[in-house]
Amino acid sequence: MRSAPVSSLRGIGPKSVALLDRLGITTVFDLALHLPFRYEDRTKRRPLGELANGDACLVWGRIVESSSRGRGGFVVRISDSSGSLNVRFIHSFPSQRQRLVPGNWLEAYGRVRMDGAGLEMIHPEWRVSTDELLLPKSEFRPIYHTVKGLSSARLRQLVRPSLSELNLLPVYSHDGLSLAEAVRIAHNPDPQKNLRDVAVARKRIALDEMLGYQLVRDAEYRELKRQTTEPLHRRQGLGKQLLAHLGFDLTRAQSRVVKDVLEDLARERPMYRLVQGDVGSGKTVIAAFAALRACENGSQTAVMAPTELLAEHHHRTLSEWLSPLGIEVNLLLGKQPARVRRARARGIATGSDHVIIGTHALFQSSVTFNNLGLIIIDEQHRFGVHQRMQLRDKGRLPHQLVMTATPIPRTLTMSLYANMDVSEIDELPPGRSPVETVVQAPNRRANVIEGAERVLAGGGQVYWVVPAIQESDEPDLRSVDSVLDEIRQALPHRHSAGLHGKLSDAEKVARMERFRSGRVQLLVATTVVEVGVDVPNATLMVIDCADRMGLAQLHQLRGRVGRGCQQSFCVLLHDGSLSEEAHARLSVLVETNDGFEVAQRDLELRGWGDLLGAKQSGYGGFKVFDPLEHRGVIEEARTLCNELKEDQAELALQILGTWAPGHREYTSA
Ligand code: ADP
Ligand code: MG
């Protein structure tokens, strides 16, 4: 059923197939899972005397009066023991009007509006009868999201045959419902009952879907753990040397995570571990210890960064830490001259390059490693559920380490990353203090600049982040150029400078260095400063057009201050008036400094979108599961997933096949 095309259903021709396709519906299963987003309550006729403006409802009454109003249509007045109502027909045929006469009974469904004279129902769905005892065709009529050219009524017709195919779904009951029963209820709730049944049914479907998702993840994990690879053992004790010249002690959390990673590496099963840690929690050092262990074993490490800028940053840090130990750390970037890239390719192929840092894209293209033992993926703050990289080296599967800042709320990690082992750095290095955050309206710009002046006068430094480089790039966004002008005019006696991605690398480094050394006091920058800049003396971060940025990014930017012993501040400036939604988002940052909390709240406000990387993993996306509506379902599915794969592998396989037909290779071995 999962992969049968909609065209296999009777009554669905090429035109409907095309329309359904626009709704993202291609299979019978897709169609059956296209659930209504609301229902029209046609189960009860409402007494006419109780109607209120705006009600959409079913009414029933005796026609007491009828008259033609010319262009105003045809109006009948109906009454029951409680009151009366005017019903207006915009288009009507003479044959219809002949029956809309006093003495007959009218049933109508529509919305009631206040008209000058009283309540009126316009252009309803209706039927007329001579029989006072005619019963309503009681139903909760499903209303579907649809596209132009496909009416909700037509869609109802198309959905119907898909529901008879539900018998093919795996049968297992949870909370007294099978998946098929739940889907049927969601489309056609029992008119004898109430819509609470629908919520229960939807939750049941969401549970199945989440279960399918977790079974896929679990299958991937098992599949990976069936493979063998070369263990990376402790050999020369380079770790001790690294510790000695880092310049700081590892936090307890970092030591614990390093230990997790090194233990994984020493196994014959490939490591597939996620390291979660808030911005600035010190994830890079974990990567350094892992790479070091690979080098000790004569294996190469590939470090993948999401951007070239981050790759360069990692290159600086890792070279500083690893080069003194005799390790060759190199960069591979798309923008390098062909000559340099050829040299790199040689170094990678011969094995003279030990640690190679580049972007995902670059590694996925034609790079051949001599002896790749470890892949480290830095996801920065991007969300995503990770897949095994397809980078292999002569058939050997490298160990993999993924680092991520605020991917998903802590509570969900174990379930959603069922395909990885997870370690968390739940502690910041010493000396970080929470940043006090405020939201400021555009009419407060002058005050914000005054605030910056106070910080500068006190010997501190200021970041001022803007979304664009030049006015012309994005006319309605603030730019580095315009804000720099503004600030130089207001604070002519201060040294301010601009920083953005279009500058040459050398210029970027030079300007950053001037800021680091304190010669530049105020830095107006694009979000390039998001990347690993460390200036403890900077205590104020102003973010312009903050309402245009995502929470994760704002949190990351804020992490640039609060690195010294002074109290630090973050000002979120917005342009124009703030929508309620934007206000709620920015308030999250005012209320908390905890990146995980930020992620949790972000999800609640923004929904999940493709957060789970469902598309990229080939899973197809969630159809029914909604993290707000079905909060509890994730953990419930986790438990079920574990039970099923232990005791009912065959059923687990069927459920997995229902939700992810591409993953049939699941076995319980
Ligand atoms: P992130 O987790 O955001 O990638 P980084 O690895 O970039 O964090 O580390 C942020 C900063 O903290 C760096 O300057 C790093 O050198 C420093 N750092 C990391 N660990 C410690 C520690 N245990 N003590 C002091 N500073 C540390
Ligand atoms: Mg980092």
The model's confidence at residue 408, banded by pLDDT at 50, 70 and 90, is low
- pLDDT for 376: 94
Q: Is 282 in the pocket of ligand 1 (CB under 6 A)?
A: yes
Please report which confidence band the pLDDT of residue 502 belongs to, taking 50, 70 and 90 as the band edges.
Answer: confident
Which residues are within 8 A (CB) of 221 and not within 5 positions of it... i.e. 6 or more apart? 272, 418, 419, 420
CB 608 within 8 A of CB 633: no
Tens-place pLDDT, residues 391-407:
655 567 899 999 987 55
Does the Cβ of 516 fall within 6 Å of ligand 1?
no
Which of 248, 428, 553, 560 for mutating ligand 1's site (highest number of atoms within 8 Å of CB)? 248
What is the pLDDT confidence band of residue 661, given thresholds at 50, 70 and 90? confident
- Residue 77, beta-bridge partner list: 65, 86
Q: Which residue, 318, 367, 375, 316, is CA-closest to 341? A: 367
Q: What is the rounded average pLDDT for all residues in the chain?
A: 87
In one-letter notation, the amino acid at residue 600 is Q
Strands 83-89 and 118-122: parallel
Is the separation of the CB atoms in 503 and 563 below 8 Å?
no
How close is the Cα of 428 to the center of ligand 1, in Å? 8
pLDDT for 666 equals 43
- Copy the structure tokens of residue 476: 């309605």
Whether residue 361 is predicted with pLDDT greater than 80 in this model: the reply is no
Query: Which of residues 232 and 552 earns the better pLDDT score?
Result: 232
532 lines ligand 1 (CB under 6 A): yes
Residue of the CA atom closest to atom 4 of ligand 1? 283
Task: Name beta bridge partners: 330.
Answer: 356
pLDDT at residue number 66: 94
User: What token pair was written down for 72?
Assistant: 């105003």
Q: In what order do the strands lie in the sheet with 461-465?
A: 436-440, 569-573, 538-543, 461-465, 522-525, 496-499
Asked whether the beta carbons of 93 and 69 are under 8 A apart, the reply is no
For the chain, list the domains and their CATH numbers.
Answer: 44-137 (2.40.50.140), 195-226+632-669 (no CATH), 238-425 (3.40.50.300), 436-592 (3.40.50.300)
Nearest CA to ligand 1 atom 13: 282
**Is 305 touching ligand 1 by the criterion CB < 6 Å?**
no
- How confident is residue 471, by pLDDT bands cut at 50, 70 and 90? low
Ligand 1 proximity of 285 Cβ (cutoff 6 Å): yes
CA of 546 to the centre of ligand 1 (A): 25
Report yes or no: 46 and 26 within 8 Å, Cβ to Cβ.
no
Angle, CA 641 vertex, CA 184 and CA 423 arms, to 5°: 130
At position 491, the amino acid (one-letter code) is L
The band of 8, judged by pLDDT with boundaries at 50, 70 and 90, is very high
- Closest ligand to 282 CA? 1
Mutate to test the pocket of ligand 1, among 249, 257, 281 (most ligand atoms within 8 A of CB): 281
Q: Each residue of 57-88: pLDDT tens digit?
A: 999 999 999 998 888 889 999 999 999 999 99
pLDDT digits (tens, 9 = 90+) for 89-128: 988 888 989 999 999 999 999 999 988 778 999 999 999 9
**Which pLDDT value is given to residue 545?**
92
Order of all β-strands in the sheet with 372-378: 329-332, 355-359, 300-305, 372-378, 399-404, 272-277, 421-425
**pLDDT (tens digit per residue) in 320-330:** 999 999 999 99
Ligand closest to Cα of 253 equals 1
Task: Please determine, for residue 387, whether its predicted confidence score (pLDDT) is greater than 80.
Answer: no
Distance, CA of 401 to CA of 382 (rounded, Å): 15
Sort 307 into a burial class: Cβ within 10 Å, 0-12 / 13-18 / 19+. Answer: middle
Ligand nearest to the CA of 310: 2
Q: Which atom of ligand 1 is nearest to the CA of 250?
A: 23
> Which whole-number Å values give the CA distances from 158 to 7, 154, 164, 179, in the listed order?
11, 6, 12, 20
Q: Please state, in angstroms and as integers, the Cα–Cα distance from residue 477 to each residue in 411, 500, 541, 546, following that order.
A: 37, 15, 18, 11
Cβ neighbors of 258 (< 8 A, separation 6 or more) are 250, 285, 286, 289
Does residue 250's CB lie within 6 angstroms of at least one atom of ligand 1?
yes
Q: Three-class SS of residue 112?
A: strand
Nearest CA owner, ligand 1 atom 27: 429
Task: Tell me: pLDDT of 632 over 60.
Answer: yes
**572-584 residue pLDDT tens:** 999 888 888 889 9
User: What is the whole-number distance in angstroms between the Cα of residue 531 and the centre of ligand 2?
Assistant: 8
Measured in Å, residue 307 CA sits from the centre of ligand 2 at 12
Q: How far is the CA of 280 from the centre of ligand 1 (A)?
A: 5
Phi, psi of 449, rounded to the nearest 5 degrees: -65, -40
Between CA 651 and CA 642 the distance in angstroms is 12
pLDDT of residue 616: 37
